[in-house]
Structure 1
Amino acid sequence: MRSRHSAGLLLFRLTDGGLEVLLGHMGGPYWSRRDAGAWTVPKGEYDPEEPAWDAARREFQEELGLPPPDGEAVPLGEVRQTNGKTVTAWAVEADLDPGSVDPGTFTMEWPPKSGRTQEFPELDRVAWFGLDRAREVIVKAQSAFLDRLAEHSLRG
C-alpha cells in the first residue's frame, strides 16, 4: 500500500518587498495548463519508518536536484489535503536561484490507455512568490503553511 504521508521544505527569504516563498509547479500533463492549485511545497512521500525530517530533506534533493539548505528549520506542522494525504513541512530561510534547479522525473502512461510511457519532471518550474500571490496558486490545504510561516516571522 502506498504511503499517504509526504514531507517537504518550504524555503523563504526576506526581500525589500517582504517575505517570499519558493514553490514548485507540479509537472506532468494534468498540471501543464493550470496555475491556481498547481504549485506546491517541494515534497514527497515517505514510509512511516523514515523520520519525516529526513524525508523532507531527501525529497527536496530529489525534486529540485539540489542539496537541501542548512539553517534553522521552523516546524510548520501538518495539513491534510483533499486527496487524503497528510503533508508535514518545515520552513528554512535560504536563497536559491530557480534557474539552478535540475528536477527529478517520473514516468507515466501518456496519453491515457495509449500503452506508451513518457517521462515528466516532478516539478516543471520553481519560482519565488510573495505570500499573497503564493496563497492564490498553492495547493489549497498547503496555504496553512504560509499562514504559519507568516505568524512565525511576525514573532521573530
Structure 2
Amino acid sequence: MRQSAGILLYRFREGVPEFFLVHPGGPFWEGREAGAWSIPKGEFADPESPLEAAVREFTEETGTRPEGPLLPLPPVTQKAGKKVWAWAAEGDLDAGAIRSNHFRMQWPPRSGKWILVPEVDKAGWFRWAEAATLINPAQVALLEALAAQLSFKPGP
C-alpha cells in the first residue's frame, strides 16, 4: 500500500480558523482547483516514520520547517487507495513566499521531452468552506478532525 504523510497547518484570524493548503505543480494540475489542493505531504517508505516524513515533506514543499506541538489526526485513505498520515500544527507563514522543491517529468507523456516542475506551484490560507471545496475530497476528514479538536463547528 502506498503511504504519504503531511502536516495541516492552521491559524486563527478574527477568531476563525484558516487552513494552509498547497496546489500541486506541473501541467497535469494546471487549471484544476476544486479537489486538487492538499495538505503539504508526500510518500515515504521504511525505515522513515510517518512523522519524520510529514516534517520532511512540509519543509521540502514550503521551504519552512514546521514548529510547535504536532497533533496527530486520524489517517485517511484517498480514492486511489493511498493512506495519508497527518498531524496538525498551529503556525503562520507567508503563502506567497513558499519555496518548493522541483522534480523532472516527461511531458507530454511518452514524448521523450523532460521538464522541471515545482512539486507545489502555489499555496494559500483558506477558511472552512473554501478549504473543504479545494482540498482532495478524502482529506476533508482531516479538516473535520482538526475542527473537532479545536471545538470549531464547520460551516459556510
Normalising by the smaller structure, the TM-score range is: over 0.9
Aligned counterparts, 1:19-98, within 5 A: 19-68=17-66, 70-98=67-95
Indicate the residue corresponding to 1:13 in structure 2.
Answer: 11
* 1:73 Cα deviation from its structure 2 partner: 1.1
SS of 1:38's equivalent in the other structure is: coil
Counterpart amino acid of 1:41?
A: I
- Structure-1 separation of matches of 2:12 and 2:59: 23
* 1:62 Cα deviation from its structure 2 partner: 1.0
RMSD between aligned alpha carbons? 1.3
Indicate the residue corresponding to 2:116 in structure 1.
Answer: 119
- Structure-2 separation of matches of 1:147 and 1:115: 43
- Structure-1 separation of matches of 2:40 and 2:15: 23
Indicate the residue corresponding to 2:129 in structure 1.
Answer: 132
- Structure-1 separation of matches of 2:47 and 2:41: 17
Counterpart amino acid of 1:26?
A: P
* 1:99 Cα deviation from its structure 2 partner: 2.1
The count of corresponding residues between Structure 1 and Structure 2 is 152
- Structure-2 separation of matches of 1:17 and 1:67: 25
- Structure-2 separation of matches of 1:116 and 1:67: 33
SS of 1:40's equivalent in the other structure is: coil
Counterpart amino acid of 1:56?
A: A
* 1:146 Cα deviation from its structure 2 partner: 0.3
Counterpart amino acid of 1:48?
A: D
Identity between Structure 1 and Structure 2 (%): 46
Between 134-143 and 9-18, the greater mean CA deviation after superposition:
9-18
After superposition, the C-alpha distances for 1:72-117 in whole angstroms (9 at most, x for unaligned) are 2111120000111100100100011112211111111001221010
- Structure-1 separation of matches of 2:136 and 2:103: 20
1:109 pairs with one of 106, 113, 121: 106
TM-score, normalising length: structure 2: 0.93
- Structure-2 separation of matches of 1:76 and 1:48: 20
- Structure-2 separation of matches of 1:107 and 1:65: 19
SS of 1:35's equivalent in the other structure is: coil
- Structure-1 separation of matches of 2:122 and 2:15: 22
